[in-house]
């Protein structure tokens, strides 16, 4: 059989090549791999998703899910709803390149999931392992595992799920410091917990685990100050911690950063546009996003900020959330640092 080279076939004028139609299979001797499966499950489009959150009475917990495209600026768009109308406060979030996880909350002990590249309502995934820590925990993920740690009642347990399968969580190990209201960031191999409260003391320490193994955490270093209720995100190199409460519940606009592969203390990155705590953080390989939270007047906000992770400097306005102003929303993205971007 003769071999035809596409770059040698032209029309009579020599100005255009062939138009190939109706092909259902394709092979190549040059290492080309065609995508397979439905487009909803190919992932990695750079979408950030925010779910639920709390707004003071009479609205209370929210079940709305909205999303942004991280590479552009603008207001969020509606995605769908959580599985429960009262489930949207006090938990944590993470994702693979295709599936988003919303873990634990203030009204029931459960795990929800979504397919990030599509829109629609969340579905039930399973239950946390430690039912006493399902609120105010922190979480991170790579493309295979989701790991949550800490939480009420001032807990030092960490637990994990395999994102691609459904089911209940399993025990991972213990944190070196019992902590609630902590935050977390990750590379594909290492996850870092930073700050929090134990039990009334604000903490500045950070500790880390290796995501693919199980076991207890080890000391990483310290944040630039004692903080809790901070928004965290990362790319594969840097972890970012923005805002939070300082002693006396005084909110801050400080942004810290760490180099995840090395150990050591955090460095100053810049400032948020508005000082706030209880916000939500998502990221791509280029940008980190900070959404919502409680400001210095104890008022919830729908502000969305962003930074360029590779540089340092102050945050810039991105847009607004679709929902009422909320604090402590779940969040995830399909292009974050734990995916190896």
Res. 280: pLDDT tops 60: yes
Give the chain's end-to-end CA distance (angstroms, integer).
Answer: 42
Domain CATH number, residue 85: 2.120.10.80
Q: Which domain holds residue 198?
A: 48-339
In a domain, 2, yes or no: no
pTM: 0.85
Report residue 125 as tokens: 């995934």
- How far apart CA 237 and CA 310 sit, in angstroms, is 9
Does a structural domain hold residue 41?
no
Total domains in the fold of the chain: 1
Q: Tell me if 25 is assigned to some domain.
A: no
Q: Which of 126-130, 179-183, 335-339 shows the lowest per-residue confidence on average (mean pLDDT)? A: 126-130
Using alpha carbons only, what angle is made at residue 230 by residues 279 and 295, rounded to the nearest 5 degrees? Answer: 50
Q: Between these two residues, 296 and 264, which has the higher pLDDT value?
A: 264
Query: Of 22-36, 63-77, 152-166, 267-281, which one has max mean pLDDT?
Result: 267-281
In a domain, 216, yes or no: yes
Cα separation values, 301 from 85, 175, 325, Å:
21, 32, 4
Whether 327 is in a domain gets the answer yes
User: 280 burial class (0-12, 13-18, 19+ CB within 10 angstroms)?
Assistant: buried
pLDDT tens digits for 132-174?
656 788 999 999 999 999 887 667 889 999 999 999 999 999 9
* Within a domain: 331: yes
Q: Is residue 205 part of a domain?
A: yes
How is 51-102 classified by DSSP, letter by letter? EEEEETTTTEEEEEEEEEETTS-S--EEEEE-SSTT--SS-EEEE-SSEEEE
């Amino acid at each position: 059989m003769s071999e035809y080279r596409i770059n040698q076939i032209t029309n009579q004028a020599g100005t255009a090549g062939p138009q190939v139609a109706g092909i259902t299979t394709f092979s190549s001797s040059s290492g080309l791999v065609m995508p397979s499966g439905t487009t909803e499950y190919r992932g990695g489009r750079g979408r950030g998703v925010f779910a639920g959150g709390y707004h003071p009475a009479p609205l209370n917990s929210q079940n709305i899910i909205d999303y942004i495209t991280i590479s552009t600026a603008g207001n969020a768009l509606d995605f769908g709803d959580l599985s429960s109308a009262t489930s949207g406060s006090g938990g944590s979030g993470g994702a693979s390149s295709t599936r988003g996880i919303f873990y634990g909350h203030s009204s029931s002990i459960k795990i929800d999931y979504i397919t990030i590249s599509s829109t629609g309502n969340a579905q039930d995934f399973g239950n946390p392992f430690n039912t006493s820590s399902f609120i105010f925990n922190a979480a991170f993920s790579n493309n295979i595992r989701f790991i949550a740690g800490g939480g009420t009642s001032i807990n030092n347990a960490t637990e994990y799920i395999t994102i691609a399968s459904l089911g209940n969580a399993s025990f991972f190990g213990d944190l070196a410091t019992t902590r609630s209201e902590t935050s977390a960031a990750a590379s594909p191999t290492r996850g870092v917990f930073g700050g929090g409260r134990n039990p009334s003391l604000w903490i500045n320490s950070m500790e880390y685990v290796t995501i693919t193994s199980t076991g207890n955490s080890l000391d990483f270093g310290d944040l630039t100050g004692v903080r809790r209720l901070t928004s965290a995100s990362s790319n594969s190199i840097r972890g970012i911690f923005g805002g939070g409460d300082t002693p006396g519940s005084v909110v801050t606009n400080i942004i810290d950063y760490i180099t995840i592969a090395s150990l050591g203390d955090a460095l100053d990155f810049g400032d948020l546009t508005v000082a706030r705590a209880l916000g939500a953080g998502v990221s791509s390989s280029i940008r980190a996003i900070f959404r919502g939270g409680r400001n210095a007047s104890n008022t919830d906000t729908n502000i969305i900020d962003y930074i360029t992770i590779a540089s340092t400097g102050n945050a810039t306005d991105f847009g607004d959330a679709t929902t009422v102003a909320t604090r402590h929303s779940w969040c995830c993205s399909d292009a974050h640092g734990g995916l190896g971007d």
